[in-house]
Structure formats: C-alpha cells, structure tokens
Amino acid sequence: MPPLQRFTVTTVIGFIALFAAVHLASAQIKIGSVLSVSGPASFLGDPEKKTLEIYVEEINAKGGVNGQKLQLIVYDDGGSADNARTFATRLVEEDKIAAMVGGSTTGSTLAMIPVFEDAKIPFISLAGAIQIIQPVRPWVFKTPHTDKMACEKIFADLKSRNLTTIALISGTDAFGKSMRDQCVSVAPNAGINIATEESYGPRDSDMTPQLTNIRNKAGVLAVVNPGFGQGPAIVTRNYRQLGITLPLYQSHGVASKQFIELAGPAAEGVRLPAAALLIADKLPANDPQKPVVVDYSRSYQQKTGQAVSTFGGHAYDGLMILVQAMQRAKSADKAKVRDEIERTKGYIGTGGIVNMSPTDHMGLDLSAFHMLEIKGGDWTLVPGT
C-alpha cells in the first residue's frame, strides 16, 4: 500500500475502534463532570478530577448508592467556556447523566447553566462567583465559598487590627478579577478604604513596578492580593524583595501548601482566609469538621502523593452532597434528587457546614472561613477568628 493509503486505512480503523469503545461502557448511575483539568485553570481542575475519581471508586467499593454503582464521566474543557458548553450538551444528550458535579471556573459554569436548566438536571458547580447562585436557579447549586465572603473575612480582620486604608493588587485572570470586583463592592460597608489598585497578568514573572507604586502611596496600611496560581507567590516574593513591611493578605485562592513552598521564606507573616481543610491537623479535637477533613486529607495524599488543596475539597463536598441527596431520595430521579439537595441540612464538609434552602443554593456562612497566618513555614490559626 502507498503510505497515504495505509495512513488513511489505519486512521479509519482507529476511529471505528474508538467509537466502539465509547458505546460499550455502561453503568447504573451516571454522574457527569466538566473540569478545567488542563489549561490556565488546571490549578482547580486537576485536584477536582483526582478527588472525584478517588471517591467514586471508594463509594463503588462500598456497594455504590442505593445498591447501584456510580459511573463518573469527566471531560476536560481546557479552561474554555465554549468547550465546557459543548461537553455539557454531550453529557446531557449522549451520556444521559443523572446529575452533574463540576464546572471549575465561573466562566465555564455560567456557560453550562442553560444546558442543565433546560434539561432539568441537578448541577453542583465548583466555581466561586456569587452570580452562579444569585439569582437562585432551580437546578444549580455550588459548594465553594463566594469571593464576597473571602473579602468580608479579610476586611473583618483588617478592621480588628485597625488597618482600614489598604491597597489592592490583583491578577487579571478570572479568579483575581472576580474577587477584586467583590472586594471593591463590599469595602465601603466593611469600613475599608481602598487607596490604590494595581494588577498583573496571569503569567507575569515580576510585579515590582506595581508594588513600588503601592509602597509610594501615602497612607496605605495593608495590602490585599486576590489571585491564584503562581501570581500570589511571585507577589509575595517581590514584596519582601522590595522590603515592604506592611501586613500582606492573600486570598483563599492560594489554598494549598504549595504556596508556602513556592514563596519560600517570603511567605512568613502572610495572612489569608481559608477553609478548615488546610489546617486539618491543627483543628481542636471537638471541631465537628475535624474527622471529615482529616479523613479527606489522608485519602488524597495517600492516593496522589500531593498536598491537599481547597479546590479538591470543593469537589469532595459536591459529590457527597449529591450522593447523600440520592440516598435520601432513595433514587437517582432528577427532580427528587434536586429537591433533596435543596433540603441539605447540617452536611459537614471540607468547606464548612452546609445548610441549603430554596433561597440559598450554597448554604455556607462566614464561619466556614478561618483566618490563617503563615508562621515557621506552616499554617497557624489566628486566635479569635
């Protein structure tokens, strides 16, 4: 055969084999997920995917849900909202899923919402922004705290330290920008005055010009950095490089031990709001969340060899809220499961204690956040928060 023909034949056979493989797999309850496993938001999607896989396997090993095994179908949107939308359609039309846990970023979640609303399939999002649950949509829920809560938590701490004039430096990525907007909107109510604002690109390698401008701004008492990925680590390093001594606040976006590794000694003294998960071993023994977070940290570290991040925790909470709702509904019927998710009360998860209602499809309050300070290369709880 000439090379071109041989190539064509091999390709065709390959594709036939491919589609055959897709249609062979079938199971009882199908749970769909679209995550940003690769691309600029892989920081979120990677731990989320690993978590879902670990726990679906564990649940199946214990006999599944209501006697039925779970089948997890994960697609990688690469951080693109357009791809997310296509995969959402695929989950509904082709895979015929019973429920959806996923949507790593706010952009992809918002793009997918109409698909699941139209198809009437329960959708638990893992993204931060408040627009996802406000206004309340019947089929859409979310597990992470909102950016607004993170801002309020930081501002409360600033207020208690009398540091009321601050500077903001935020990433221009979706996470940084969205949290920055929330912080700016809640600042007046919290009694915080934002004296100056700077930003940096998601892949920038030096932020000293922006920090120099902040340093030169008179009256600034503290600096807040909404952002995730490697940006906050570089901001923190540059902050010490310039010898700035004002208190530095990071956001819940640096929700993993890796931040301390990347920022190194510069991270000393940095404060941030975070869920109980990060300080699993430091929680008091009587904390209701302790068993859950210790257990999750141990499983995740054992299976992946990596440190836990808050983002993986969001996926854990989403899956567990769904599974418990299915158990209460005694079926995987979409409408019944939706009603039961909405009735979730006192669910103890990695992100906090969840109490949902028809008007609150997240069910977390500010008590879910702890204020942490980095000391001696480790997280410590700030007393009284």
Partner 1 sequence: MRTLLETRLLPAIVVAVIVVILPYFFPSAYYFRVGALVFIFALAVVGLNLLMGFAGQVSLGHAGFLGIGAYSVVIGPVYFGLPSWLCVFVGATVSGAVAFLVGRPILRLKGHYLAVATLGFGLLVAIVLTNEAGWTGGPDGMSVPRLALFNWQVRGSDSWYWIAGATLVGGFVLALNLMESPTGRALQAIHDSEIAALVLGIDVARKKLTIFVISAMYASVAGSYLALFNGHVTPDIAGFLRSIELVAMVVLGGMGSIVGSLVGAAVLVVLPQALTIFHEYEQALLGFILMVFMIFLRRGIVPSVAATFAGRRK
Partner 2 sequence: MAELLQFVFSGLTVGAIYALVALGFTLIYKASDIINFAQGEFVMLGGMTTVFVTLAGVSLPLAALIAIIVTTAIGLALHRFAIEPARGASPVALIMITIGASIFLRGVAQIIFDRRFHSLPSLFGGDPIKFGGAAILPQSLVVLASAMVIVTLLWLFIDRTLLGKAVIATAANRLAARLIGVDTRRIVDFSFAVSAAIGAIAGVLITPIALTSYDVGTLLALKGFAAAMLGGIGSALGAVVGGLLIGLFEAFAAGYLSSNYKDAVAFLIILVVLVSIPQGLFGRAKIERV
- Two tokens at 10? 């091999």
The nearer residue to partner 1, 253 or 352, going by C-beta atoms, is 253
216 binds partner 2 per the rule CB under 8 A: yes
Query: Which of partner 2, partner 1, none is residue 165 near (CB under 5 to 8 Å by kind)?
Result: none
User: What are the DSSP calls for 217-255, one per residue?
Assistant: STT--EEEE---TTHHHHHHHHHHHTT--S-EEE-GGG-
The nearer residue to partner 1, 68 or 172, going by C-beta atoms, is 172
303 binds partner 1 per the rule CB under 8 A: no
37 binds partner 2 per the rule CB under 8 A: yes
- Two tokens at 134? 């406000």
Are the beta carbons of 154 and 373 closer than 8 angstroms? no
d(CA 253, CA 85): 25
Identify the sign of the CA torsion 305, 371, 314, 292. Answer: positive
Question: Quick count: other Cβ atoms within 10 Å of Cβ 166?
Answer: 26
The nearer residue to partner 2, 33 or 199, going by C-beta atoms, is 199
> Who's near 15: CB < 8 A, 6+ residues apart?
none
d(CA 173, CA 229): 10
Phi and psi torsions of 192, nearest 5°? -110, 135
d(CA 8, CA 21): 20
By CB under 8 A, name the one of 90, 257, 282, 290 that touches partner 1: 90
By CB under 8 A, name the one of 264, 288, 291, 377 that touches partner 2: 264
Using CB under 8 A as the binding criterion, the count of chain residues that bind partner 2 stands at 37
The nearer residue to partner 2, 237 or 370, going by C-beta atoms, is 237
Please choose, out of 131-139, 226-234, 273-281, 354-362, the segment that lies near partner 2 by the rule CB under 8 A: 226-234
1 binds partner 1 per the rule CB under 8 A: no
By CB under 8 A, name the one of 63, 114, 191, 291 that touches partner 1: 114
The nearer residue to partner 2, 14 or 243, going by C-beta atoms, is 243
d(CA 202, CA 173): 6
Q: Among residue numbers 14 through 43, which ones bind partner 1 (CB under 8 A)?
A: 15, 18-19, 21-22, 38
Tokens 């679906």 map to which residue?
56
The nearer residue to partner 2, 232 or 247, going by C-beta atoms, is 232
377 binds partner 2 per the rule CB under 8 A: no
By CB under 8 A, name the one of 27, 28, 39, 294 that touches partner 2: 39
By CB under 8 A, name the one of 129, 154, 234, 353 that touches partner 1: 129
Nearest to 122 by CA among 104, 107, 103, 106: 103
Question: Which pairing describes strands 370-375 and 378-381: parallel, antiparallel, or unpaired?
Answer: antiparallel
The nearer residue to partner 2, 59 or 307, going by C-beta atoms, is 307
Letters for 68-87 (x = contact with partner 1 by CB under 8 A, - = none) are ------xxx--xxxxx-xxx
Nearest to 53 by CA among 254, 268, 287, 312: 312
Burial category of 21 from C-beta neighbours within 10 Å (exposed 0-12, middle 13-18, buried 19 and up): exposed
Angle at 140 between CA 134 and CA 143, to 5 degrees: 85
Tokens 């310039």 map to which residue?
242
Query: Which of partner 1, partner 2, none is residue 285 near (CB under 5 to 8 Å by kind)?
Result: none
53 binds partner 2 per the rule CB under 8 A: no
Using CB under 8 A as the binding criterion, the count of chain residues that bind partner 1 stands at 40
Could you tell me the CA-to-CA distances from 91 to 29, 32, 47, 87 in Å, in that order?
A: 13, 6, 21, 6
Query: Which of partner 1, partner 2, none is residue 103 near (CB under 5 to 8 Å by kind)?
Result: none
Q: List interacting residues with partner 2 (CB under 8 A).
A: 37-40, 42-43, 46, 172, 198-201, 203-206, 208-210, 212-213, 216, 229-230, 233-234, 237, 241-243, 258, 261-262, 264-266, 306
Interface with partner 1 (CB under 8 A)? 3-4, 7, 15, 18-19, 21-22, 38, 74-76, 79-83, 85-87, 89-90, 92-94, 105-107, 110-111, 114, 118, 129, 131, 172-174, 177-178, 181
